[in-house]
Structure 1
Amino acid sequence: MALLRGFFAPLLVVVLWSQSVAAQVAFGAQGEEGGPDREQAWLVPSPEPNLASHAVLFRPAGEGPFRLAVIAHASTQNTVLRVLTPQPQYKPLAALLVARGFAVLVPERPGHGKTGGKYLEDQNGCDGADYVHAGRATAEEIMAATAYLRQQPFIRRDGTVIIGHSAGGWGALALAGADPAEIAAIIAFAPGRGGQPNGLPNQVCAPHSLIAAAGEFGRGARIPVTWLVAANDGYFPPDFSRKMVDAFRAAGGKADFRVLPPYDGEGHWIAETENGVKLLPAELDRALKGSTQQPLARAKKP
């Protein structure tokens, strides 16, 4: 646990740093709310000095306080594609969570889109990929945004859920050893890195390294993980994902692994689209029910 505390210690610096540069970066809401889910642009801290992450926030009607769900987006090693990527929103998934009483933050991590800055979670190529470093860097980015939102008056201090997709899910797995008082549960959609190298489906860069890194994240894990993958995921297919789950569990991690129905032509994107999210309510409710002893508060319709 001392190692984990050492890893997450920089998160304390994020809070102090955010206070010291408040005059330079105006964290918080950046515009008016709009739409049924009160969509609003925000700026939140990142681990990169003087760099704010662009984010979008959704929340139920009323003043709260609401439980917080943070969605960590997918990524790519392709620099050009990262720069051109639009602000991740995951609107259908966010709407599902808002309907269940959550405020939902989707932060854009450094090295992507409008946020820009250095790509902190670089895995360092294929053959020599450092998946542990990549996951922990992503975890630190997730927690920088999460820690800031948990300070807001409309957010509950308990019951925070981290939901990660692909590389974002990999970063969420790296958080499994965090303090359960800060994170109640982790839901990871097809977590991993290095999938489909050179566009080749059902292949993974340095697969043994990725499996070993999953075991590293399971060592000392304290937060329960719901691990979801579509039957036709061409990045981290179910058979390969099971190997990662087995390594995570063997090292001490607790993971509920479930294979979702096939979705469209490529199941890896099931968490991003409206039709894909229609397949998720039962699994999502199962995962969320296990994250708290309190009944899920459902937002009232306007």
Structure 2
Amino acid sequence: MRLCPAPGGPAPLVVINHGSPARAADRPGLRPAACDSEAVQWFAARGFAVALPLRRGYGASGGDWAEGFGRCPQADFARAGRESARDILAAIEAARRLPAVSGDRPVVVVGQSAGGWGSLALASLNPPGIAAIVNMAGGRGGWAEGAPNTNCRPDLLASAAGEYGRSARVPTLWLYTANDSFFAPAIAQALHAAYTAGGGVAEYRALPGFGEDGHRLFFGRGGSAIWGAELGPWLAARLGRPLASGAAR
């Protein structure tokens, strides 16, 4: 796990959770984002320490890959997300014990793509100390058979989102773009509808297209100006305080 400390001593924690490459062969080469990357710096400038864990089976994390959902016709997306949530929760517990983190302050969880899906699974567990969860283009089953704009079983994905929503009460913000090649607006909106129908607490933001593929918005150059405009006010409201706006280090 990479930790990017905030200047000035122990700080509240943000945990950023990565996606899953479309090709299995790319999982061993995955690396956490750098501390000077744009997405990390957005949070650092607002006074957060940022943890960037790698889940099982990615990069140098070790262990077997645990997030598989099986064959497409009978995809078990709910189970896959719960396995991601196990790793996210373990990373939160470990990061809270680090000297650079104020372990008694509320935690913010951010997840992109498969990391966003795992973060929604985490929300269904309602772990104590989690103030807010941000779902950046979350889901599973995208690029089915290696083809963009093709999802494995969007109906089963929505059903799994509804399953999470039945127990999830942590506030969540959902951000999806108009040109996401993994989760098009119709899929994203169906997930949100199923999640909230079950009782999940979620605010949905439909963002404009970004570059050639909006799925890359969160880590993309210039992306923070777009998602930050939505996230900043929402997060301040969830935390009950204005966010700092100093320059990132």
TM-score by length of 2: 0.93
Whether 1:154 and 2:100 are equivalent positions in the alignment is yes
- Distance in 1 (CA, whole Å) between partners of 2:93 and 2:154 is 32
Contact preservation (8 Å) 2:120, 2:164: yes
- More off after superposition, 91-100 vs 176-185: 176-185
- Distance in 2 (CA, whole Å) between partners of 1:87 and 1:61 is 20
Q: Which runs of 5+ in 1 are unaligned?
A: 1-54
Q: CA deviation at 1:105?
A: 0.6
Distance 1:273 1:118, change over 3 A: same
How many positions carry a matched residue from both structures?
Answer: 247
Contact preservation (8 Å) 2:236, 2:242: yes
Alignment partner, residue 180 of structure 2: 233
- Distance in 2 (CA, whole Å) between partners of 1:108 and 1:219 is 28
Whether 1:75 and 2:52 are equivalent positions in the alignment is no
- Distance in 2 (CA, whole Å) between partners of 1:223 and 1:258 is 17
The answer to which structure, 1 or 2, has the higher relative contact order (CA under 8 A, 6+ apart) is 2
Alignment partner, residue 22 of structure 1: none
Alignment partner, residue 142 of structure 1: 88
Q: CA deviation at 1:81?
A: 1.3
- Distance in 1 (CA, whole Å) between partners of 2:161 and 2:175 is 15
Q: CA deviation at 1:301?
A: 6.6
- Distance in 1 (CA, whole Å) between partners of 2:242 and 2:33 is 30
Local SS of the residue matching 1:108? coil
Alignment partner, residue 54 of structure 2: 108
Contact preservation (8 Å) 1:159, 1:184: yes
Task: In structure 2, give the amino acid aligned to 1:287.
Answer: W
- Distance in 1 (CA, whole Å) between partners of 2:227 and 2:125 is 26
RMSD, aligned CA: 1.8
The CA deviation string for residues 84-132 of structure 1, in whole angstroms up to 9 with x for no partner, is 3334448211100000110001111111112232001111132221101
Contact preservation (8 Å) 2:56, 2:65: yes
Question: In the TM superposition, what are the counterparts of 1:152-191 in structure 2 within 5 Å?
Answer: 152-156=98-102, 157-179=104-126, 181-191=128-138
Distance 1:202 1:99, change over 3 A: same
Q: CA deviation at 1:291?
A: 2.1
TM-score by length of 1: 0.77
- Distance in 2 (CA, whole Å) between partners of 1:77 and 1:274 is 21
Question: In the TM superposition, what are the counterparts of 1:115-130 in structure 2 within 5 Å?
Answer: 115-130=61-76
- More off after superposition, 68-77 vs 163-172: 68-77
Distance 1:149 1:178, change over 3 A: same
Q: Which runs of 5+ in 2 are unaligned?
A: none
Give the alignment partner of residue 217 of structure 1, picking from 160, 164, 176: 164
